[in-house]
Structure 1
Amino acid sequence: MKKIFIFAVAALFVQSVSAQKLDRSQRPKPGPAPTITFDDPVIYNLPNGITVLVVENHKLPKVSASYQIDAGPITEGAKAGVIGLLDGMLNEGTVTKTKAQFDEAVDQMGAQVGVSAGGGQASALTRYFNDAFLLMADALRNPAFPQASFDKLKSQSLTNLKSNERNATAISGRVVNVLSFGVNHPYGEFETEQSINSIVLDDIKAAYKKYVTPSRGYLTFVGDIKPEAARAIAIKAFGDWKGEILTFPALAKVNNPAKTEVDVVNVPSAVQSEITVTNLIDLPMSSPDYHAVLLANEILGGGADAKLFRNLREKHGFTYGAYSNTGSGRLQSTFSATASVRNEKVDSAVVEILKEINVMRTEKVNPDVLQNAKNLYNGSFALGLENPTRSAGFASSILINNLSKDFYRTYLKKLNAVTADDIQRVSKKYFSHDNARIVIVGKTDQFLPGLKKSGLVVKQFSKYAEPIQ
């Protein structure tokens, strides 16, 4: 009993000393960035052009595989909607199995199998994986294309278009893309009742023949499988597959407006307006600006602790949330700041969004704010590495985006080297203020008078982005 009492007193003494040394008024200093370690995948190349990547992980008796076709953006023209219908048709059975038989075979294994015009995926316990994988390959290579399924999916597409006719969010997404890229650009195209009605089953078959192919294909295996076994099942499923040769599309560059303009669409039934402040950017992942832009976007509108959210929601109560997003890649993408705002507060919200963008461009970010953004990326990136699929994705990303082999191993090192000067520099370069496009979809009679007083150029458009005089 005496020994227990002495131990308890000693423990209390140590706890008291520790509490005296701990100053809870000071935020703990961040530790070093996590060290990134992961194994490179084993890579094979099949004669028909498919690149096979294998990441072994035997912690669980499970294997996942994905097949990605790097076709790039597809221009559909007058047949806009054909790729979406093809996605659905590829899951409507094969030449040897009806949809019901195919789905039952998948369910009996407790597997997950799905395909689309861009590829497919299969995941199952190790004992069932080969069968699940061959089902995926069968769906990709031997679709049945039944007329009844096509009629059903086409009818559903028309119904979805009808249901979104007065949906301000859907209208905004369409109009933003058209005004940013142009209606003849693959990113600016959109489905209409006319384009869907013009599509026949032969169009689906033609699109399948053209785009679902081993060319520019990346087949990734992750999990409880040996590289040799993965290669063997890949050859069995896809080794004799032949198809069209794909070329990554070269798209003409699109320009931002010469001067910031406001483009409005009237939706009389809207109870709130969708605001998008956007501009086109060129940001390949290999750019030296890449990591700084990620952090700048996080600080501006990455979440509930970012500038836009704190201003528009916490300070002014205009919206439930305000965010920003920055694209990247081999082709032009967009920076955008978005919020869904009460109609009568639109003009004030636009002023505040532009103000926060301009602050990023003209003032240095607070060191603590920058460090918090870095901490968030450090933690989420390291946590993501617990999923072995992530490292497999790194490998294919390096090949597709022509990145250096150590791109992801030095990812956090480069991210943590970003300075406040870098944040201001890239904000000025990628977040436009004087030549942005402000698209507002909502009840115009409640916000148009206020916008016109701001001195900004205001243009009106239909819900299909057609100019209204």
Structure 2
Amino acid sequence: MKHLLAAVLTVFLAIPAWAEIKIEEITSPSGIDAWLVQEPSIPFVALEIRFAGGASLDASGKRGAINLMTGLLEEGAGDLDARAFARATEALAASFSYSVDDDSLGISARFLTENRDAAVALLRSTIKEPRFDADSIERVRAQVIANIQSSAKDPNDIAGDAFAAMAYGDHPYGSALSGTENSVAALTRDDLLAAHKAVFARDRLYVSAVGDITPDELGQLIDTLLGDLPDTGAPLPEDADVTLSGGITVVDFDTPQSVALFGQKGIERDDDDFFAAYVMNHILGGGSFESRLMTEVREKRGLTYGVYSYLVPRDYAATYMGSVASANTRIAQSIQVIRDEWARMATEGASEQEVADAKTYLTGAYPLRFDGNGPIANIMVAMQMQGLPVDYIATRNDQVNAVTVDDVKRVAGELLDPDGLHFVVVGKPEGLPDVTQ
């Protein structure tokens, strides 16, 4: 059976998914909204489910509870312990995966049409009847703690944790969603049950599906799977205040190469100027080897193997961030060049050629994302969570192409804040001025 699923996936990935993506908006009999793309030529369905709030719903003093709970969802449910559940999933040639970040908890399901009912029943048990067996809790807890210990030795993770604490303070964004060794060690089974109750509710639910299923069939499937969830869960978080100010923070770490994470306040996804900022960022630091930062920091000066910038419009705060790694003796120069390029873009904007090249790349790369049922379903559920319209896929490239040189210059001047750019440097950097330790 599992070989049949592999064959189905192989065939489907050869289908030109970008040719036409017709999204249907449906409502289940119990009132749950979902988006559907029908593809009946292959007997296979990809289902994506998201619950807004994610690990940001951790109760006070219980950081890491939702992350640990999520890791236990496939460790047995209903009458099946972890091993029996794995065997049942394999026998159906189904695939279930569970993930969490600070904005959502996600469930991805893949199953054959002929096994749909059995797969949905099995998936439902993980949502409604997770076992949270003692041995599974301890096994997954040990894995989480091992990851926390590993992160404590990783310069990139150290920089990320320090930057988050500085940027977001006491908001859940300000601490690692996995928690600390102490917080995870103290979690009880009751804490995991409370975390489950906080997340799984209809008032924060988003659903998309792609494949061999009709609107009526999807409506029934959704109600079977999710219809009897509680109406409400834990209160969603408040917006975070981005408390960054310009400067440099050094975290001492014994390594020959310093890692720097830098950032400032960003732009919300629903801002009218988001696409102008998106094009601008591609030119500044998002365009890999073609970006200004890569040209100035790597190609001209050989200070790094890679330097990048990226917009981070999260649900409760928006930042504009970037990263670079350089030898301890050269990180100061790298930082200065990045600041100079930040300032140059803010004052001068971009050229006609840069804007044209960026738009060509961004519009040409977009169709490559739609390479199968799963990726399309994933994109659709993200669109719903971001409040994008059902025709966004068809109009997205038009919005990119509508960005002008003047738009980029105006938005760069409004958004970029060279004086407010803060760098967190992990390593033993030399020659850095204005350092806070």
Which TM bucket (shorter chain)? 0.7 to 0.9
Q: Are 1:233 and 2:221 counterparts? A: yes
State the distance in 2 between where 1:357 and 1:376 align. Answer: 22
Residues in 1 aligned to 2:146 and 2:343: alpha-carbon distance in whole angstroms: 42
Alignment of 1:340-355 (within 5 A): 340-355=325-340
1: CA distance, partners of 2:19 / 2:270? 19
Matches within 5 A, 1:58-457: 58-71=40-53, 73-116=56-99, 118-182=105-169, 184-190=170-176, 191-242=179-230, 244-257=232-245, 260-268=246-254, 270-283=255-268, 285-302=269-286, 303-385=288-370, 387=372, 392=377, 396-397=381-382, 399-404=384-389, 406-444=391-429, 447=430, 450-452=431-433, 457=434
- SS in structure 2 of the partner of residue 187 of structure 1: helix
Letter in 2 for 1:328: P
CA deviation vs aligned residue, 1:51-106 (integer Å, no higher than 9, x gap): 23222012322111111112363344422111111111111101211111111111
The residue type equivalent to 1:173 in the other structure is G
Q: SS of the residue aligned with 1:434?
A: helix
The answer to whether the 8 Å contact 1:264/1:439 transfers is yes
Amino acid at match of 2:71: G
The answer to whether the Cα contact below 8 Å between 1:65 and 1:133 also exists between their aligned partners in 2 is no
> Does 2:27 correspond to 1:41?
no
**AA of the residue aligned to 2:273:** D
SS in 1 for 2:158: helix
Relative distance call for 1:40 and 1:161 in structure 2 (3 A) is closer
Query: Any stretches of 5+ residues in structure 1 without a counterpart?
Result: 1-34, 461-469
Give the count of matched residue pairs: 412
CA contact (8 A) 2:39 2:210 kept: yes
Pick closer, same or farther for the CA change 1:370–1:439 going to 2, 3 Å: same
Shift of 1:321: 0.7
Inter-partner Cα distance in structure 2 for 1:418 and 1:37:
25
Closer, same or farther in 2 for the Cα pair 1:128/1:292, shift >3 Å? same
Normalising to structure 2: TM-score of the pair? Answer: 0.87
Distance 2:19 2:265 in 1: 32
Question: SS at the partner of 1:43?
Answer: strand
Contact 2:252 2:427 in 1 (8 A): yes
- Residue range with higher mean Cα deviation, 248-257 or 324-333: 248-257
Q: CA-to-partner distance for each residue in 1:5-61, whole Å, 9 max, x for gaps?
A: xxxxxxxxxxxxxxxxxxxxxxxxxxxxxx9963231311453x6323222012322
What letter is aligned with 1:250? E
Determine the C-alpha separation between the residues in 2 that align with 1:196 and 1:394.
32
**Preserved CA contact (<8 Å) 1:169 1:274:** yes
Aligned residue type for 1:451: L
Q: Which amino acid aligns with 1:413?
A: D
Alpha carbons of structure 1 residues 324 and 401: separation in structure 2 relative to 1, 3 Å: same
Q: Which whole-Å CA distance do the structure 2 matches of 1:387 and 1:240 have between them?
A: 30
Deviation at 1:314, TM superposition (A): 1.5
1:219-277: CA deviation from partner (whole Å, max 9, x where unpaired): 222101111111222222333333544543322533332xx211110002x12111122
**1:139 is matched by which residue type in structure 2?**
T
Q: Per-residue displacement from partner, 1:312-350 (whole Å, max 9, x unpaired)?
A: 221111111111110125421211121111111011000
Q: Secondary structure at the match of 1:144?
A: coil
| Superposition CA RMSD, Å | 2.3
- Alignment match, 1:458: 435
Q: What is the percent sequence identity of the aligned residues?
A: 27
The answer for unaligned runs of 5 or more in structure 2 is 1-17
Bigger radius of gyration: 1
**Does the C-alpha gap of structure 1 residues 371 and 387 become closer, same or farther in structure 2, counting only changes over 3 Å?**
farther
Cα distance in 2 between the residues matched to 1:161 and 1:385:
34
Q: CA deviation at 1:405?
A: 5.1
For residues 137 and 277 of structure 2, the distance between their equivalents in structure 1, rounded to whole angstroms, comes to: 43
Instruction: Classify the secondary structure of the residue corresponding to 1:326.
Output: strand
